[in-house]
Amino acid sequence: MTAQPRRAALDAVKARIRALETGVGGRVENRATVGLGDKALDRGLPWGGLPRAALHEIRGDAAAAGFTAALAARLAGSDGTVLWCQSRAEAHEAGRLHGPGLGAFGLDSRRLVVVTAGRGAEVLWVLEEGLRSAGIAVVVAEGGAPDLTASRRLQLAAEAGGATGLVLTPGEAPAGPSAALTRWRVAPAPSAAVALSPGLMGPARWDVALWRCRGGGPGHWIVDWDATALRFRLVAGLADRPVSPGDVRRSA
């Protein structure tokens, strides 16, 4: 092989690696995004917001479900349809979806389609079919954990159909490698009202760790939910402080 074909082959390999690093089938700068509602949070993502037509993984328990509902509402916008699929085991363990509760996170039950599936493999089948559907804006899968091969297929399905996939999985740590564009860990955090009096109820607040982000680095934030403006809001005092390595270690 002469020097010129060898250089061309090397350039092709480098281009393939860059594509894998920035997401299956697309570069970072070319992705359509939706803002989270707080500029400091959006700056923590290389796209300036959360990409649509992509797969995202959220880990956590009950608090993570609220965070996921809020993400779904922002991604769907004012008129997009959200398909939410639960396995029967997850519905039994965590409880079925509650319309008024979802409404507090901006998710209108009139734009929500709920599916109950038998087991995890069926949840992932519903997720893939929903991602390929032109009539769906967001698909939430609760109770199915895709492996690397399945997550690659789901990412490609999201890019082909234009819908955004949110995989909500219980647990603290990622189970293994994934092609998801972002991977999050979400835990509850005490609200400001609780600090004033243990008996008070404040807005939803989460301890949010961005574990993995293609084309970007990890992050760690304490985030409130503004139920009036329907947006995320970085807790005052953290908005102007850069994420430190200690923050990321504590979030793991």
Inform me whether the pLDDT recorded for 61 exceeds 90.
no
Q: Tell me the percentage of the chain whose pLDDT exceeds 70.
A: 76
Mean pLDDT of 135-157: 94
pLDDT for res 92? 72
Mean pLDDT of 2-28: 54
Quickly state the pLDDT bin for 30 (edges 50, 70, 90): low
pLDDT for res 9? 63
The domains of the chain, with CATH numbers, are 32-251 (3.40.50.300)
Mean pLDDT of 211-226: 93
Q: What tokens does 117 get?
A: 């599936």
Quickly state the pLDDT bin for 143 (edges 50, 70, 90): confident
pLDDT for res 11? 62
CB half-sphere exposure, 37, CA atoms < 13 A: 20
Could you tell me the strand order of the sheet in which 112-117 lies? Answer: 112-117, 82-87, 138-142, 164-169, 55-59, 182-188, 205-213, 219-226, 231-234
pLDDT for res 114? 93
Distance of CA 240 to the CA centre of its chain: 23
pLDDT for res 240? 42
Query: Which tops the pLDDT comparison, 17 or 193?
Result: 193
pLDDT for res 22? 43
The rounded distance, in Å, linking the Cα atoms of 252 and 245 is 11
In contact, 203 and 224? CB cutoff 8 Å: yes
Q: What tokens does 57 get?
A: 């993984």
Predicted structure pTM score: 0.80
The rounded distance, in Å, linking the Cα atoms of 183 and 195 is 30
CA distance readout (Å), 172 to 28, 61, 105, 168, 187: 27, 9, 23, 12, 9
Q: Tell me the percentage of the chain whose pLDDT exceeds 90.
A: 59
pLDDT for res 159? 95
